[in-house]
Amino acid sequence: MKIFVTRKIPKPGLDALQKEFTLEVNPFDRVLSKEEIIEGIKGKDGLVCLLTDPIDKEVINAEPHLKMIASYAVGYDNIDIAAATKRGIPVSNTPGVLTETTAELAWALLFSVARRIVEGDMFTREGNFKGWAPMLMLGQDVSHKTLGVIGTGRIGTAFGLKSKGFHMNVLYADEQKNEQLEKQLGAKKVSLSKLLIESDFISIHVPLTKATHHLIDEKQLHLMKKTAVLINTARGPIVNEKALVKALTGQWIFGAGLDVYENEPELSEELKKLKNVVLQPHTGSGTIETRTKMALIAAENMIIGLKGGIPPNCVNEEVFQKKPTT
Ligand code: DGY
């Protein structure tokens, strides 16, 4: 069987795929266009794709042989799951292995903003440090403050649990009660508005869906404390970037740490100029260990899926449900 891989992923994943299938890998070090992906999957049985690939209805229906899609990411908002399901194509993702890694990046951003690490680094490098000063580059304390976690799935829970050493008062907003956070931290489930009003640090961990698009808009930013810090390592369009620029420029909030952007990889020019925002190039899962595990998981899902089994991380298991006999 033949597989198309839309971008070079870590070697262990490619090696595992190569043992089982004939591989064609995007030879360029760049994101492919939709047209190039359609061309790439011609005559292929499987597609290994990235979160940057627009796997819409047109792509999914372009190749009649296509039997399996393995995404090298946990978020799959870039894939038209309904269209894949309609065609009986299982789609898999890479959950679990990137949970702690992404939660760690959220904390790295939180501290970077709270203690003005990037700004301080630039200031020092540029030769502006003339000695200790009582009012130099003052930030925000983290310990004993209120932490607000929006969305407490795997990553949100891991992020929340990591606050333990900082003795924080933890609030969370989610449809489900999170027993783990409540038992281990005494966390309280609250409405999104209450979380925004009361938290000092707010971190977003919901998937991007129609319901979460612009979940944080001008109105929500206005609810936040003037000293609050907003962290987004989930998906860019969950925050209205224009509204965030207004909030940061007008100092409605203290700062923000962003790993994702509304129109990735583009970001608004204003954002680049602001000192109270720390910007990261979508590297939530970006460690050597985690990216290698993600490659192996994507390969394992592809191998099992194309051999007729249920891929362990299938996100549309309904494709395997037997049709009722009439
Ligand atoms: C994912 O896998 O969805 C993450 O955004 C990667 O950083």
Residue 27 has pLDDT above 60, yes or no: yes
Ligand 1: distance of its center to the CA of 324 in Å? 36
Percent of the chain with pLDDT over 90: 98
Residue 238 binned pLDDT confidence (cut-offs 50, 70, 90): very high
In this structure, the residue with its CA closest to atom 2 of ligand 1 is 73
Ligand 1: distance of its center to the CA of 310 in Å? 23
Pocket test for ligand 1, best of 9, 77, 102 (most atoms within 8 A of CB): 102
Ligand 1: distance of its center to the CA of 283 in Å? 8
Q: For 57-114, how does the pLDDT look when each residue is reduced to its tens digit (9 = 90+)?
A: 999 999 999 999 999 999 999 999 999 999 999 999 999 999 999 999 999 999 999 9
Q: For 117-152, how does the pLDDT look when each residue is reduced to its tens digit (9 = 90+)?
A: 999 999 999 999 999 999 999 999 999 999 999 999
Ligand 1: distance of its center to the CA of 322 in Å? 32
Q: What's the pLDDT score for residue 324?
A: 54
Ligand 1: distance of its center to the CA of 296 in Å? 15
Q: What's the pLDDT score for residue 225?
A: 98
Q: What's the pLDDT score for residue 59?
A: 98
Single-letter code of the amino acid located at 120: G
Residue 251 binned pLDDT confidence (cut-offs 50, 70, 90): very high
Percent of the chain with pLDDT over 70: 98
Give the helix ranges, DSSP H, for the chain: 11-20, 34-40, 57-60, 81-86, 99-114, 117-125, 154-161, 179-185, 192-198, 218-223, 241-249, 269-273, 288-306
Residue 17 has pLDDT above 60, yes or no: yes
| Domain coordinates in residue numbering, the chain | 2-96+288-320, 99-279
Atom of ligand 1 nearest to the CA of 51: 3
Q: What's the pLDDT score for residue 249?
A: 98
Task: Indicate the class that CATH gives domain 2-96+288-320.
Answer: alpha beta
Q: For 264-310, how does the pLDDT look when each residue is reduced to its tens digit (9 = 90+)?
A: 999 999 999 999 999 999 999 999 999 999 999 999 999 999 999 99
Atom of ligand 1 nearest to the CA of 260: 5
Pocket test for ligand 1, best of 52, 74, 260 (most atoms within 8 A of CB): 74
Atom of ligand 1 nearest to the CA of 94: 2
Would the CATH topology of 2-96+288-320 be identical to that of 99-279?
A: yes
Pocket of ligand 1 (CB under 6 A): 51, 73-75, 98, 282, 284-285
Atom of ligand 1 nearest to the CA of 259: 7
Q: What's the pLDDT score for residue 323?
A: 56
What's the chain's average pLDDT?
97
Give how far Cα 153 sits from Cα of 56, 75, 177, 180, 228, Å: 26, 12, 11, 11, 23
CATH architecture of 99-279: 3-Layer(aba) Sandwich (3.40)
Q: What's the pLDDT score for residue 182?
A: 98
Instruction: List, in order, residues 6 or more apart from 134 with CB less than 8 Å away.
Output: none
Residue 115 has pLDDT above 70, yes or no: yes
Residue 326 has pLDDT above 70, yes or no: no
- Which residues are known catalytic residues? 235, 264, 282
Pocket test for ligand 1, best of 98, 238, 259 (most atoms within 8 A of CB): 98
Kindly report the number of other CB atoms within 10 A of residue 212's CB atom. Answer: 19
Please state the pTM of the whole predicted model.
0.94
Best CA proximity match to 7, nearest among 64, 55, 51: 51
